[in-house]
């Protein structure tokens, strides 16, 4: 196509710094009470709650091959 060369752009220093920080995040990570609590919540408690809800509602609703007037709950 005709026109200017659009591939030449000035790099934003803030975006470059953000990219560098994300690539090297593991070097600067520290276990603090906040990071330990967040890790416990996201690794243990949230999957536990979702698993409990999935286990208790397993087989309660059958959403396949329903016709008009059929009930969603099986029992």
Q: pLDDT tens-digit profile of 2-61?
A: 566 666 777 889 999 999 999 999 998 999 999 999 999 999 999 999 999 999 988 787
pLDDT value of position 63: 66
Cβ(63)–Cβ(72) below 8 Å: yes
| Cut 0.85: pTM above it | no
CA dihedral angle for residue 32, residue 23, residue 5, residue 1, rounded to 10 degrees: -100
Residue 71 confidence (pLDDT): 76
């Amino acid at each position: 196509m005709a026109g200017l060369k659009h591939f030449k752009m000035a790099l934003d220093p803030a975006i470059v710094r953000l990219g560098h920080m994300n690539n090297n995040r593991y070097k600067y990570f520290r276990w603090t009470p906040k990071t330990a609590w967040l890790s416990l919540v996201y690794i243990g408690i949230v999957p536990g709650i979702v698993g409990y809800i999935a286990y208790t509602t397993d087989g309660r609703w059958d959403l396949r091959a329903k016709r008009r007037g059929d009930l969603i709950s099986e029992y």
